[in-house]
Structure 1
């Protein structure tokens, strides 16, 4: 920590909820970003060189080259978010820099948004909204905006971690039949409690389900896990939902198939190239696009901040941060 200062200098790259920033300012020597200005690489390097702790967000790319310029003072990257694929954790570890995240607090919010997207796509909510906002509705018609019934549909969940299980509980309440593919099968009692059907073969699950929902992290093993070949296994009436990581789906292949009517619809909150969604997706009426809103609740954002503060406080006290990420688990 800074010489002559018992409190760590904590640099925060984006504006956080006011209660979180107030607590940080009270507990640490906090350098905040009240204008929420997006920082460039030069700004990040300068922050890292004068700080003990960096609090980045998903919009900050902390790669090996950036870390090489950090200098000796930086010892902790307390990420504001659960995903850390924008941080080179291995390179940080080589320089003696710990990395923490904020797991577990966004499960319910992301599961809620997943169900919202399933309903929005299958019931054509955005198409109806567009007509109403344009003042083009000329009255009720028996065949207008016909969508599909949620109950009875087969939901295939790709990745059955905390969020996948939360989605399964919600889907079951809507009368959906829940299937899943995971690296490891859940215990039999957990499957029975959630009413799950396990598929060892992802290909077979894709061919037999009506809605596919992605809930896996982005790793080298999951990059384009839903490849063009696998997307072609889907029924023409199938819907694809992604509130996890955009890189898991071959976005160009998905776009081509949606435009050709080979997939019925998609609900996307994440994109393969960060905030740059494929522009051809924006013109499709059977696609619902959101700006990474899955975890965007006041409660969730504050809980994320509380986790960041606990991790920094543990570091400052010479203790192991509770959400320390081990490089070999990435």
Structure 2
């Protein structure tokens, strides 16, 4: 029996990679930087299975370059905004993702960023390293309290609910805006305007779709409290970074903390990097050893199932099985 042809767009953790190797003989891109568009189009030609990361754009052109024998696209990510899912569905190709396993790690990251922004941790460290700490002062680098504050969660799926669960330990009042989501962990549903007007912290946890692109814009930010802190661990495209810069520069909100940006990586001349009240880290929401291992395992399981003609354990377009 002829072995299926598989391309893995980057080296994934051994737990997932070794599982794929137990069944097939995959080819993988081994360089640290992702393949260019031209290289990717060339490497996918004739493949039966594709395992990708969120750094690769998987569109109809690439699927056609692979050929009609392409059976499965598996992404080592929860979000699939880098994949043209409708194009895959039209071609009868199931698309797999890795939900659930990164919920806790991402919720932890959101809370870490919220605490860091509230207590001005990164700003304080830069202050110290610059030799500016000369004495204890009652008004030095004053931040915001969590106990008794209101946390507004925009998007109350797995990660949003995990954040709400953590908020209980900080005695935060939690409200959320999310269509069709049921209350959990003491969080109460409200409309978006109410959330923005009442929240001391606003956590963004929505997937990137056409309707959520630049959801956080100038109008959104203008409704927040001047003392409020914005945290985004969703996708960079959900946020209008120019509008955020204007709001932070004018102190219309207290601070922001971003795990994701648009584009990624963020250009070093981005104006947000000039601001003391903006924390930016390089998309580390799922960056724990255990979480990345489990993501690779789920991605491998999706890939193997698709190549065997079985239903993907985690399929974002199940209508292909209709």
TM-score interval (norm. to shorter)? over 0.9
Q: What does residue 253 of structure 1 align with?
A: 243
Which of 110, 118, 122 in structure 1 is aligned with 2:114?
118
Preserved CA contact (<8 Å) 2:49 2:307: no
Q: What does residue 132 of structure 2 align with?
A: 136
Correspondence 1:83-232 to 2 at 5 A: 83-186=79-182, 190-191=183-184, 194-199=185-190, 201-232=191-222
Unpaired runs of 5+ in structure 1? none
Which runs of 4 or more aligned residues in structure 1 lie more than 6 Å from their structure 2 counterparts after TM superposition?
none
> Displacement, 1:227?
2.3
Q: What does residue 17 of structure 2 align with?
A: 21
> Displacement, 1:245?
1.3
CA distance in 2, matches of 1:161, 1:19: 27
TM-score (norm 1): 0.92
Preserved CA contact (<8 Å) 1:245 1:270: yes
Preserved CA contact (<8 Å) 1:41 1:66: no
Residue deviations 1:76-122 (CA, integer Å, cap 9, x gap): 11111111100101112222322111111100000000000100001
- More moved, 208-217 vs 57-66: 57-66
Q: What does residue 292 of structure 2 align with?
A: 301
The DSSP-based 3-state class of the residue aligned with 2:295 is helix
CA distance in 1, matches of 2:21, 2:197: 53
CA distance in 2, matches of 1:295, 1:252: 26
Structure with more contact order per residue of length (Cα contacts < 8 Å, sep ≥ 6) = 2
Q: What does residue 54 of structure 1 align with?
A: 50
Which of 265, 268, 290 in structure 1 is aligned with 2:255?
265
RMSD (CA atoms): 1.8
Preserved CA contact (<8 Å) 1:49 1:74: no
The DSSP-based 3-state class of the residue aligned with 2:174 is strand
The DSSP-based 3-state class of the residue aligned with 1:50 is coil
The yes-or-no answer on 1:234 pairing with 2:220 is no
Preserved CA contact (<8 Å) 1:10 1:52: yes
Which of 73, 76, 79 in structure 2 is aligned with 1:80?
76
TM-score (norm 2): 0.94
The yes-or-no answer on 1:32 pairing with 2:28 is yes
CA distance in 2, matches of 1:144, 1:24: 54
Preserved CA contact (<8 Å) 1:17 1:301: yes
- More moved, 80-89 vs 34-43: 34-43
For residues 328 and 249 of structure 1, do their structure 2 counterparts lie closer, same or farther at Cα, with a shift above 3 Å needed?
farther
Q: What does residue 285 of structure 1 align with?
A: 276
The DSSP-based 3-state class of the residue aligned with 2:301 is helix
> Displacement, 1:23?
2.8
For residues 60 and 185 of structure 1, do their structure 2 counterparts lie closer, same or farther at Cα, with a shift above 3 Å needed?
closer
The DSSP-based 3-state class of the residue aligned with 1:225 is coil
- More moved, 222-231 vs 54-63: 222-231
Q: What does residue 43 of structure 1 align with?
A: 39
CA distance in 2, matches of 1:128, 1:37: 33
CA distance in 1, matches of 2:271, 2:26: 42
- More moved, 20-29 vs 291-300: 20-29
